[in-house]
Amino acid sequence: MSIPETVGAFAIVPHNDLPAAIPFWERLGFTRVGGDAHYVIMTGWGCEVNLTQAGSGPWRVPEEHNPFGVFIRTPEVDAIAALVDDLIIRPGGVLRHREWGLYEVWIAGPDGMLVRVRPGWIDQMYVLPQAQGRGAGTALLDFAKSRSESLSLWTFQRNAGARRFYERHGFAAIEVTDGSGNEEQEADVLYRWNEIVR
- Label each residue of the chain as H, E or C: CCCCCCCECEEEEEECCHHHHHHHHHHCCCEEEEECCCEEEEEECCEEEEEEECCCHHHCCCCCCCCCEEEEECCCHHHHHHHCHHHECCHHHCCCCCECCECCEEEECHHHCEEEEECCECCCCCCCHHHCCCCHHHHHHHHHHCCCCEEEEEEECCCHHHHHHHHHCCCEEEEEECCCCCCCCCCEEEEEEEHHHC
- Per the model's pLDDT, the better-predicted residue between 14 and 63 turns out to be 14
Residue 57 is predicted with a pLDDT of: 75
- Per the model's pLDDT, the better-predicted residue between 77 and 119 turns out to be 77
Q: Is the pLDDT of residue 94 over 60?
A: no
Q: Where are the domains of the chain?
A: 10-118, 129-197
Q: How far apart (Å, rounded) are the C-alpha atoms in residues 76 and 122?
A: 15
- Per the model's pLDDT, the better-predicted residue between 133 and 30 turns out to be 30
With contact defined as beta carbons under 8 Å apart, do 22 and 30 qualify? no
pLDDT tens sequence across 52-74: 888 877 777 876 777 777 878 77
57-58-62 Cα angle (round to 5): 80
pLDDT tens sequence across 16-58: 889 989 999 999 999 999 998 888 999 988 888 899 888 877 7
Domain 10-118 fold: 2,3-Dihydroxybiphenyl 1,2-Dioxygenase; domain 1 (3.10.180)
Let me know if the fold of 10-118 is the same as that of 129-197.
no
Q: pTM for the whole thing?
A: 0.56
Q: Is the pLDDT of residue 95 over 70?
A: no
- For the residues 108-133, what does the mean pLDDT come to? 70
Percent with pLDDT over 90 in the chain: 16
Q: Determine the residue type at 173.
A: A
Domain 129-197 fold: Aminopeptidase (3.40.630)
The conformational region for residue 135 under phi > 0 = left, psi -120 to 50 = alpha, else beta, is left
Q: Is the pLDDT of residue 91 over 70?
A: no
Residue 5 is predicted with a pLDDT of: 42
Residue 96 is predicted with a pLDDT of: 46
Band (pLDDT 50/70/90 cuts) for residue 75 is: low
Residue 147 is predicted with a pLDDT of: 62
Q: Determine the residue type at 24.
A: F
pLDDT tens sequence across 113-125: 777 676 666 666 6
Q: At residue 138, what are phi and psi to the nearest 5 degrees?
A: -65, -40
